[in-house]
A and B are shown apart, each in its own frame.
Chain A
Amino acid sequence: MEFLTALLKSMPGAAGQGLIWGIMAIGVYITYRILDVADLTVDGSLGTGGAVCVLLALNGVNIWAATLCAILAGMLAGLVTGLFHTRCGIPAILSGILTQLALYSINLRIMGWGTGVGTQATLAIRVDNFQLLVSSRFIRSVGLNNPLLFLAVLVAAVIAALYWFFGTELGCALRATGSNPSMSRAQGINTDTAKVLGLMISNGLVALSGALLAQYQGASSVDMGRGAIVIGLAAVIIGQVLFSRVFRNFALKLLSAVIGSIIYYIVIQIVLRMGLDTNDLKLFTALVVAVFLSIPYWKNHYFSKTAGKGGAACA
């Protein structure tokens, strides 16, 4: 009973984290599912978003403007990865790793801006002194200052904007590029530009998530993005496994990534309450993602007999 009440008490926190990381999961969905590229830039661009946002806010910039700048910084990171890939011929996955590595140093520099040393690993921002968009302090409060309300509206707005964009001619060109590059080129689509644009949008969203996360937890740190891609993939895959049969609409597919993210954080809360050491979390996450990624493969290979029969019956 005690366990349950404690768990219940931690639910709002899990939902808040889940919503923030859900925006990041949408970014991962765009590269991983739509563009068919595993983009590892996100481990760095999440931290960049947090660093830029907190630094600017501490220097007196309006929090909305600071968050917007964080998005732009993330898009810049995506642009660099995209150019490594399309203009320099570096494989996509390696391009992302290179940018991510470079961003580690850059994030340290951003947070150390104006200090004597020039680098800094964490940058705190207190909700008492600044008007932040979200803060974990009010996560259980009943009222308009509860971050869950703001986050829910923001997630809905992000999904609506993306639903619109991927319905436009340009958005269709992006989807076609991920679906079949040779067909896309034959239809006059510049697949290089499409990939770069997709990476920019994705990393812009990831940086937005980083900016919100830094405000939510009251600090930006150079390590906050470590393993982000795996959490993003976990959210996307959990959402897909659970909802792919019911959610056909594109907006709902994006929503399923967000719900996947919330479920992920609820599961994390449960296993932590059950006594898992926080230091083992990344191991746990990696295993969960590995298992979920393996399921489709196992289905095809070890249950192919039944699949074959089904196929024959259809023919």
Chain B
Amino acid sequence: MLEIKEIHKTFNAGTVNEKRALQGVSLTLEDGDFCTVIGGNGAGKSTMLNAVAGTWLVDKGTISIGGADVTRLPEHTRAAYIGRVFQDPMLGTAPTMQIVENLALAARRGQRRGLRWGITAAEKERYHQMLKNLDLGLEDRLTSKVGLLSGGQRQALTLLMASLKKPKLLLLDEHTAALDPRTAAKVLALSDKIVAENQLTTLMVTHNMRDAIAHGNRLIMMYDGKIVIDVSGEDKKKLTVHQLLELFNQVSGSDEANDKLLLS
């Protein structure tokens, strides 16, 4: 479903601030794979997701989604294949627009937007039902501005928006990092539910090792712009935080990142 081949990205090339963020990352996800991505700050996790989403174009390498080469496509064209939830709850929704208007925008992802009415009565009914199923108390606030919602509610809404029009690939970029632990757990559970119900191919970046182990069927760890650990299947199910740390030390040849990863 997703095929990343040898991608490279360097920021501020040729200056003192040069940052070689991705140094030859390759990754292939099968249809329905739920892969968690872990690594320290600056390891390249979010950079890899942004490369796939098309926030900017990569320097080298190719990216294809569902067999289509998207390497040179701009972000808004690629959006036809991709659902996204950002780390910052402010980024995923339009705050000055209503809840239903946000959903209607998301329902038209990847379609040409013309002069038909932006939202239909049938849609409103459908969204009402969907929000009711989410049980967030949002079903009676359909015409409220999204700017009035809490961070957790916004992330839940963004998740719903990302899956409203089934994407070929779902990108979750530390989407619970800005939430309090209880809300984070709720949003994570909702993510699991939505991924399972729609059988979405998913790439989830997280800071939390336990979450990375508990969710999905595959785990990769990044270090210094490369994928250094790749565990899947039975091995992934048996994985413990302790083992993961040992693996990481072997690969990186140091234990400097231990504290950072454990504490976060």
Interface residues of A (CB under 8 A from B): 165, 167-173, 175-176, 178-180, 182-191
B151 interface residue (CB < 8 Å to A): no
Main secondary structure of the interface of B (DSSP, over half): loop
Write the chain A residue with the least CB distance to B93. A183
Asked if residues B97 and A179 are in contact (CB atoms below 8 Å), the reply is yes
Chain A residue contacts of B104, Cβ below 8 A? 172
Asked if residues A186 and B101 are in contact (CB atoms below 8 Å), the reply is no
Main secondary structure of the interface of A (DSSP, over half): helix
B72 interface residue (CB < 8 Å to A): no
Most buried by B among A165, A175, A178: A175
B195 interface residue (CB < 8 Å to A): no
- List 18 interface pairs A-B (beta carbons < 8 Å), by A numbering: A168-B117, A172-B105, A172-B113, A173-B105, A175-B96, A175-B97, A175-B101, A176-B97, A179-B96, A179-B97, A180-B94, A184-B76, A185-B76, A186-B82, A187-B106, A188-B76, A189-B79, A191-B76
- Distance (Å) between the CB of B76 and the closest chain A CB? 5
Asked if residues A168 and B106 are in contact (CB atoms below 8 Å), the reply is no
Cα separation A100 to B118 with both chains bound (whole Å): 34
B34 interface residue (CB < 8 Å to A): no
Cα separation A190 to B113 with both chains bound (whole Å): 10
Within 64-110 of B, Cβ neighbours of A (below 8 Å) are at 74-77, 79-80, 82, 84, 86, 90-97, 101, 104-106, 108-110
Write the chain B residue with the least CB distance to A186. B84
- Partner of B77 from the list A167, A183, A188 (CB cut-off 8 Å) is A188
Cα separation A167 to B101 with both chains bound (whole Å): 10
Write the chain B residue with the least CB distance to A190. B76
- Distance (Å) between the CB of B154 and the closest chain A CB? 10
Tell me whether A187 and B115 are in contact in the complex, defined as CB-CB below 8 angstroms, given that A175-B94, A179-B96, A179-B97 are known contacts: no
Q: How large is the interface on B (under 10, 10 to 19, 20 to 34, 35 or more residues)?
A: 20 to 34
Asked if residues A169 and B113 are in contact (CB atoms below 8 Å), the reply is yes
B15 interface residue (CB < 8 Å to A): no
Write the chain A residue with the least CB distance to B54. A185
Cα separation A175 to B104 with both chains bound (whole Å): 13
Cα separation A180 to B97 with both chains bound (whole Å): 10
Chain A residue contacts of B94, Cβ below 8 A? 175-176, 179-180, 183-184
Tell me whether A185 and B109 are in contact in the complex, defined as CB-CB below 8 angstroms, given that A179-B94, A180-B94 are known contacts: no
Chain B residue contacts of A186, Cβ below 8 A? 53, 75, 79, 82, 84, 86, 92
Tell me whether A185 and B75 are in contact in the complex, defined as CB-CB below 8 angstroms, given that A169-B116, A176-B105 are known contacts: yes
- Distance (Å) between the CB of B226 and the closest chain A CB? 27
Contacts A175-B101, A185-B79, A189-B76 known; list 13 others, CB within 8 Å: A168-B115, A168-B118, A169-B108, A172-B113, A173-B113, A176-B94, A176-B105, A180-B93, A182-B91, A185-B76, A186-B82, A188-B110, A189-B113
Write the chain B residue with the least CB distance to A166. B118
Write the chain A residue with the least CB distance to B171. A186
Most buried by B among A167, A169, A172, A186: A186
Asked if residues B77 and A172 are in contact (CB atoms below 8 Å), the reply is no
Asked if residues A172 and B101 are in contact (CB atoms below 8 Å), the reply is yes
- Distance (Å) between the CB of A148 and the closest chain B CB? 32
Asked if residues A170 and B79 are in contact (CB atoms below 8 Å), the reply is no
- Distance (Å) between the CB of B84 and the closest chain A CB? 5
Cα separation A187 to B111 with both chains bound (whole Å): 10
- Partner of A169 from the list B79, B114, B161 (CB cut-off 8 Å) is B114
